[in-house]
Structure 1
């Protein structure tokens, strides 16, 4: 997506509606600084605002994402291109999050090993040893919780039985048996259990 082109399009359509940046921001419940960033191509509107923004400007979401008015005969093609591009961006974003999860897990285990090594091998008092062990457990707990949160938020899981893609409840993320990027869970659609594979997009 061409952010500069989209920004110019938003500015043009806003002015045609006789709206200032401040007036548009007020309608959307955001700051005029956010509008300015959109119109200068520094950022894109959040997905949660795109429909409302399009309605205010009298355009549709595909025109917003394309940065121009779309002819009726080109609508289907451009809609598909926009969907593919949004899917690609989602996959890249989720892949980065999952890589970050791996780093967090490694740091968690390294920290646990380092703290426990110090607690066991160092010639220190019982009190200090207890503090170090407690700190090790705390750090490991925090990194594990962060890892579970990323695992829940990044991507989806696909049922091997019906190919349904979904975000499982946190209890499945925490307690379901796993093997690599697969978890043994029950599908919320077909209710069958199996090894559900992690996928980056629907």
Structure 2
């Protein structure tokens, strides 16, 4: 079916009848732009308009579809050709309409997925729900467009595509969890409790791994990704401090024989707890001491002995890492705490066992420091090692 030839034939007969495009359009109930598109060969008249259009132009439907006048003896021959052409044209038009619908469905699915990842935060379950819903819509559109007659095969391929894209979503989500420290979007269960130190602990259970959000909604919040699923909400190891910054594995890089390395000392203090409140420090080179002035009172933010736990952790860490450090003074606006290497070595339980063959053992540090400071009784007992001076005693 030659749309250009048919369009030219429509224009020729319209002019022959003395009609403008607007007049012909009014008689057919369409706009003059529609008539123009027909005559330019850009569009074909709708099948429902073939009969009224033919009457208005004074030609037969057979001649309209042929795009020329037909001699009587060739009417049957042209009729068969036009019938076949019309069937093909109609079939193609239906396919094109279906393709448009399928493309629209796929587009809607993609849009839903994009919105689910950008509008909703990862903590919201709606992100997971809408992304899966969007993926389902997308796959329905793909199912409609697969060039297979068997619905079973189309369904099988569509299911494979769904699993593949869902797998990509899971991988991207896992990368987001590991690289940006956020809850997983795809999870089947979320559990919130408070640990023994009173901090919020959230467990996100994924099909392939678990994520623990420790000290949630605090400055010491950090994430633990349990790829092997070896923990649960009751057994996961927790710390009152941000272990992604303050754990022995991260502060080990600041190990030094001498306290005089100012840059190294500054970086170590910045990685240890209490630094989140702001601080300044001074190195006493003559007596190999360290004086740290924190910008808050010692009772501030001290729920569940947080300040005491931090003082013990910071002291042991500093003495373990800086070989010639002899004493530390922690100054707050309310009080000061002084501790010496000698008192720590003699009175801190299992201090010598932190070392193995003269080197720091990360395993033993976790056992005798990180794990021990969770115990309030242990913390209270160790704090007796520190000499505390009230503000009035310092004046």
- After TM superposition, is the score higher than 0.5? yes
- Using the TM superposition, give the Cα deviation of residue 147 of structure 1 relative to its aligned residue in structure 2, in angstroms: 6.7
Provide the rounded CA distance (Å) in 2 between the counterparts of 1:14 and 1:102.
Answer: 37
Cα contact 2:6–2:64 (8 A) shared by 1: yes
Equivalence for 2:126: 131
- 1:162-194: CA deviation from partner (whole Å, max 9, x where unpaired): xxxxxxxxxxxxxxxx53479xxxxxxxxxxxx
Gaps of 5+ in 1: 119-123, 152-156, 158-177, 183-202
- Using the TM superposition, give the Cα deviation of residue 72 of structure 1 relative to its aligned residue in structure 2, in angstroms: 1.8
- 1:80-111: CA deviation from partner (whole Å, max 9, x where unpaired): 11121222234444556469859967x969x9
- Using the TM superposition, give the Cα deviation of residue 29 of structure 1 relative to its aligned residue in structure 2, in angstroms: 1.3
Structure-to-structure mapping, 1:27-66, within 5 angstroms: 27-66=27-66
Residues 3, 102 of structure 1: alpha-carbon distance in 2 compared, 3 angstrom cutoff: closer
Structure-to-structure mapping, 1:25-174, within 5 angstroms: 25-94=25-94, 97=98, 101=102, 127-128=123-124, 130-140=125-135, 142-143=137-138
Structure with bigger strand share is 2
Structure with bigger helix share is 1
Provide the rounded CA distance (Å) in 1 between the counterparts of 2:100 and 2:22.
Answer: 39
Provide the rounded CA distance (Å) in 2 between the counterparts of 1:83 and 1:52.
Answer: 18
Provide the rounded CA distance (Å) in 2 between the counterparts of 1:103 and 1:22.
Answer: 33
Provide the rounded CA distance (Å) in 1 between the counterparts of 2:100 and 2:24.
Answer: 38
Gaps of 5+ in 2: 156-395
Residues 34, 101 of structure 1: alpha-carbon distance in 2 compared, 3 angstrom cutoff: closer
Cα contact 2:6–2:66 (8 A) shared by 1: yes
Please give the TM-score of this superposition, normalised by the length of structure 2. Answer: 0.31
Provide the rounded CA distance (Å) in 2 between the counterparts of 1:132 and 1:145.
Answer: 20
Q: Which has the larger radius of gyration?
A: 2
> What is the aligned length?
146
Equivalence for 1:6: 6
Provide the rounded CA distance (Å) in 2 between the counterparts of 1:95 and 1:42.
Answer: 18
Please give the TM-score of this superposition, normalised by the length of structure 1. Answer: 0.55
Structure 2 counterpart of 1:179, from 138, 152, 174:
152
RMSD (Å) for aligned C-alpha atoms: 4.0
Provide the rounded CA distance (Å) in 1 between the counterparts of 2:29 and 2:69.
Answer: 25
Question: Tell me, what secondary structure is at the counterpart of 2:70?
Answer: coil
- Using the TM superposition, give the Cα deviation of residue 23 of structure 1 relative to its aligned residue in structure 2, in angstroms: 0.6
- Using the TM superposition, give the Cα deviation of residue 54 of structure 1 relative to its aligned residue in structure 2, in angstroms: 0.8
